[in-house]
Amino acid sequence: MSRVGIYGGTFDPIHLGHLHVITQLFEKDLVDKLLVIPAGQPLLRTSQPSASPEQRRTMCQLAVSTLPEAIKSKVSVNPIEILRQGPSYAIDTVEEIQAAYPGDQIFLVLGADAYSKLDQWHRAEDLKEMVSIICIDRPGYASHGIDIAALEVAATTIRAGLSADVPEIVAAFIRENALYDNQ
């Protein structure tokens, strides 16, 4: 039985903080495989992502390609949510991942910010019964889980041009596509 992690997020853009989480999941031996899943239509955000779903998927693939080989070989970017029409709920994703990985243990990787809103999620109680949750502590949020010495990086500051905390290959993609020029 493998431990399959689901690491979902808007990833607008994916940044060094996300890559640190991914690395720590393996260094702390919390998962055997990890699925990075860009959200299709994030429902609990006050605004829609700036980059398109396909651009966010591409940025995730580029960022994962920069990971050390021992980790990169265990991580895949899964487009399940961006391919789904209409609202995308975590419970739907978990059900599909469970069907794709029968017999494996499924872990949902959440930052403390997302974890604090878990009860607002669609069918939250069912979701909690279906997965084990790995809560990652984040600077500025109450401690609920694992301290990985999370980096204080925010996608909002990257989009605003106030931070360059992305791998260079992702920064090049952002520049080439003028993704956050109007922020």
Render pLDDT for 66-113 as a digit per residue (tens, 0 to 9): 999 999 999 999 999 999 988 889 999 999 999 999 999 999 999 998
Report how far residue 100's alpha carbon sits from residue 104's, in angstroms, rounded to the nearest whole number.
9
- Residue at 99 is within a domain: no
- Residue at 90 is within a domain: no
- To which residue do tokens 């995730």 refer? 60
Tokens of 57: 């998927």
| 3-state class (DSSP) for residue 45 | coil
pLDDT surpasses 60 at 7: yes
CA angle (87 as vertex; 52, 95 as ends), nearest 5: 110
| Half-sphere exposure (Cβ direction) of 176: Cα atoms closer than 13 Å | 9
Q: Average the pLDDT over 24-49 and give the result.
A: 87
- Residue at 92 is within a domain: no
pLDDT at 44: 58
Task: Pick the more confident residue, 154 or 13.
Answer: 13
- Residue at 97 is within a domain: no
- Residue at 95 is within a domain: no
Report how far residue 93's alpha carbon sits from residue 19's, in angstroms, rounded to the nearest whole number.
22
- Residue at 78 is within a domain: yes
Q: Check residue 162 and report its DSSP letter.
A: S
pLDDT at 48: 73
Q: Compute CA distances 117 → 15, 110, 120, 135, whole Å.
A: 22, 10, 6, 12
**Count of Cβ atoms closer than 10 Å to residue 183 Cβ:** 11
Render pLDDT for 124-150 as a digit per residue (tens, 0 to 9): 999 999 999 999 998 777 777 899 988
- Residue at 10 is within a domain: yes
Residue range of the domain that includes 26: 3-85+105-176
**Count of Cβ atoms closer than 10 Å to residue 38 Cβ:** 28
Render pLDDT for 102-124 as a digit per residue (tens, 0 to 9): 999 999 999 998 899 999 999 99
Tokens of 87: 């609202």
Which stretch of DSSP H or E encloses residue 159?
A: helix 155-159
Strands across the sheet with 3-9, in order? 75-77, 33-38, 3-9, 105-111, 132-136
- Indicate which CATH number applies to the domain containing 10: 3.40.50.620
- Residue at 26 is within a domain: yes
pLDDT at 144: 76
Total domains in the fold of the chain: 1
Q: Is the peptide bond before 13 cis (omega within 30 degrees of 0)?
A: yes
Backbone angles phi, psi at 33, to 5 degrees: -135, 155
